[in-house]
């Protein structure tokens, strides 16, 4: 069942309802759900679709012509793009209303024949309002779209009405699509794969999260084993530099100076390459929630924000020798399991922030030099909440004391304290709930039913 893309559907529908012909660019990482979104959008609409290949322009036109010939159209061996556009939409010429033309992986057109976009724009202008068509150019080459497309298109770029980036789904959205997992298995898979439904489809809901990780991600030759290296090679050059930076960040290095000392690369070079990784949504620069405790606050750190990449560089990349020589089950027990609980904490904090975003207008975190606040959330009315998240261990009174210290360093006075705990809460903390001197406490966890 289609789920989780209502705002994107509304965006596409609003452009479809326009009276004129339009060109949209829709892009996002492979597997993120572009095709499923488009399939849902075109239900009940007149639609023509072509998936571009990585080929020369001449071969591209030949392949498209062969597809149309197989559908009963008379085609020359190497027709012009204008003929291809007209032919694929010809079945809808007398039906009235707007048609949709989807050109998937359209970057292959542009890279092979720069004049392709000029022909597409001319075709759109000829159609106008008499026979309007919504042309959707879809691409999984996110880096190319964001960094190179406009320069490559030149003046024709102004003919694009809008761009829509398809991002990963939130936990609750992807949970609806894959309901067969237990709560804990879903969290563990989300930690390793993030909100990319294409990656989730490689797993089996008949297995536990750890069985899936071992069979479909860790085992050499498995479905997702080389996903990280293939993606980097497809999107970036000098993969040795990116591998070095990602491995360093996965090991816990988060500051520019730490990366400089570890890698030996210049700070200027590191900054450029980190910028490229951020444009691909693989790395993020995180700033603490603004408060008065500037002297105790870390000024900004870098970390891997793509879940799959974070898993790969945390557990697989550093242990390649063991990965090749050990059985997958034994590898998981020795190289993954010892650090897996800590790895899950970051995903759990992300899930908790997502849940609070429905109630709070702003959610962030505070990272101190000697402490942290997992979530700082602020309502539109100005009310402030501070939260601590624990996934694999119960929350204790000591956690409350640690949070109190961090709040003091951050100079924050929240109206409410929130504790998220999948393993529950100590009895001592429950007694403290009504006695604490900070703020009202709300406890979230399986044993509390919230």
Q: Sheet containing 441-444: give its strands across.
A: 362-367, 372-378, 384-390, 416-421, 441-444
**What pLDDT score was predicted for residue 294?**
83
User: Do 370 and 271 have their domain in common?
Assistant: no
> Domain holding 146: CATH number?
3.40.50.300
When pLDDT is averaged across residues 20-37 and rounded to a whole number, the result is 93
pLDDT reading at 430 higher than 80: no
Contacts of 110 (CB under 8 A, 6+ apart): 116, 117, 149, 152, 153
Q: Are 283 and 337 in contact (CB under 8 A)?
A: no
Same domain, 96 and 156: yes
pLDDT at residue 38 greater than cutoff 90: yes
Instruction: Answer yes or no: is 1 within a domain.
Output: no
Confidence band, pLDDT 50/70/90 cuts, at residue 443 = low
188 lies in which domain range? 172-344
208 and 339 housed in the same domain: yes
Q: How far apart are the first and last CA of the chain?
A: 26
Q: Does 349 fall in a domain?
A: no
Q: For the domain that residue 191 is a member of, what is the CATH number? A: 1.10.10.10
Label residue 95 exposed, middle or buried (CB < 10 Å: 0-12, 13-18, 19+). Answer: exposed
**Domain membership flag for residue 350:** no
State the average pLDDT over residues 392-409. Answer: 87
Residue 151 burial (C-beta neighbours within 10 Å; 0-12, 13-18, 19+) = exposed
Give the best-scoring range by mean pLDDT among 9-23, 87-101, 355-369. 9-23
Residue 221 and residue 338 in one domain: yes
Non-local CB neighbours of 170 within 8 Å, separated by 6+ positions: 4, 195, 354
Q: Give this prediction's pTM.
A: 0.87
Mean pLDDT of 410-415: 91
Of the residues 344, 367, 383, which one is the last residue of a structural domain? 344
409 pLDDT above the threshold of 90: yes
Are 298 and 431 found together in one domain? no
Kindly indicate the confidence band of residue 429, based on its pLDDT and cuts at 50, 70 and 90.
low
In a domain, 142, yes or no: yes
Does some domain include residue 79? yes
Co-location of 334 and 410 in the same domain? no
Report yes or no on 352 lying in a domain.
no
Which of 290, 314, 344 lies at the terminal end of a domain, its last residue?
344
Count of alpha carbons within 13 angstroms of residue 268, beta-carbon side: 0
249 and 337 assigned to the same domain = yes
Average of pLDDT values for 65-94? Answer: 92
Residues 50 and 152 in one domain: yes
Same structural domain, 222 and 335: yes
The last residue of one of the domains, among 276, 310, 344, is: 344
pLDDT category at 257 given cuts 50, 70, 90 is very high
Note the pLDDT of residue 260. Answer: 96
Q: Is residue 234 part of a domain?
A: yes
Is residue 85 one of the residues assigned to a domain?
yes
Structure confidence at residue 358 (pLDDT): 84
**Range with top average pLDDT, 89-103, 142-156, 243-257, 293-307:** 243-257
Is 285 found in the same domain as 191? yes
User: 112 φ, ψ to 5°?
Assistant: -85, -40
Q: What is the pLDDT of residue 431?
A: 62
For the segment 297-334, what is each residue's pLDDT rounded down to a tens digit?
A: 888 899 999 999 999 999 999 999 999 999 999 999 99
Residue-wise pLDDT for 50-64, tens only, equals 999 999 999 999 999
Average pLDDT of the chain, as a whole number: 90
366: its two tokens: 């505070």
CATH code for the domain of 375 = 3.40.1350.10
pLDDT at 435: 54
Contact 351/190 with Cβ under 8 angstroms?
yes
Pair 302, 411 in one domain: no
Same domain, 84 and 158: yes
Looking at the structure of the chain, the number of domains it has is 3
């Amino acid at each position: 069942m289609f789920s989780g893309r209502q705002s994107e559907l509304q965006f596409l529908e609003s452009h479809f309802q326009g009276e004129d012909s339009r060109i949209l660019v829709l892009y996002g990482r492979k597997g993120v759900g572009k095709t499923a979104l488009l399939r849902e959008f075109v239900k009940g609409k007149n639609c023509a679709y072509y998936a571009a290949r990585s080929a020369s322009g001449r071969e591209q036109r030949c392949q498209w012509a062969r597809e149309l010939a197989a559908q009963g159209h008379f085609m020359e061996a190497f027709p012009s793009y204008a003929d291809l556009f007209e032919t694929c939409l010809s079945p809808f010429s007398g039906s009235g209303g707007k048609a949709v033309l989807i050109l998937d992986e359209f970057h292959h057109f542009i890279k092979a024949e720069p004049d392709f976009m000029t022909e597409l724009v001319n075709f759109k202008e000829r159609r106008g309002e008499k026979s309007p068509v919504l042309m959707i150019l879809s691409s999984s080459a996110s880096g190319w779209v964001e960094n190179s497309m406009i320069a490559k298109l030149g003046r024709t770029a102004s003919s694009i009405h809008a761009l829509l980036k398809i991002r990963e789904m939130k936990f609750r959205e992807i949970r609806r699509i894959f309901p067969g997992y237990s709560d804990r298995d879903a969290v563990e898979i989300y930690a390793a794969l993030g909100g990319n439904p294409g990656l989730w489809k490689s797993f089996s809901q008949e297995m536990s999260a750890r069985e899936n990780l071992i069979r479909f991600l860790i085992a050499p030759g498995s479905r997702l084993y080389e996903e990280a290296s293939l993606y980097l090679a497809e999107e970036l050059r000098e993969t040795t530099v990116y591998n070095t930076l990602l491995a360093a960040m996965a090991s816990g290095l988060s500051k520019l100076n730490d990366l400089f000392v570890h890698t030996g690369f210049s700070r200027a070079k590191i900054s450029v390459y980190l910028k490229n990784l951020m444009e691909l949504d693989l790395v993020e620069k995180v700033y603490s929630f603004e408060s008065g405790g500037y002297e105790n606050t870390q000024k900004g750190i870098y970390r891997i924000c793509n879940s799959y990449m974070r898993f790969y560089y945390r557990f697989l990349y550093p242990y390649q020798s063991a990965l090749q020589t050990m059985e997958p089950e034994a590898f998981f027990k020795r190289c993954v399991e010892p650090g897996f609980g800590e790895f899950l904490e970051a995903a759990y904090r992300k899930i908790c922030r997502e849940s609070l975003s429905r109630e709070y207008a702003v959610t962030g975190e505070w990272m101190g030099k000697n402490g942290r606040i997992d979530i700082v959330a602020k309502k539109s009315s100005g009310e402030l909440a501070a939260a601590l998240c624990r996934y694999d261990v119960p929350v204790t009174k000591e956690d409350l004391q640690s949070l109190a210290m961090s709040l003091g360093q951050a100079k924050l006075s929240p109206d409410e304290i929130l504790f998220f705990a999948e393993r529950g809460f100590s009895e001592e903390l429950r007694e403290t709930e009504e006695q604490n001197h900070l703020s009202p406490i709300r406890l979230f966890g399986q044993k509390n039913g919230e």
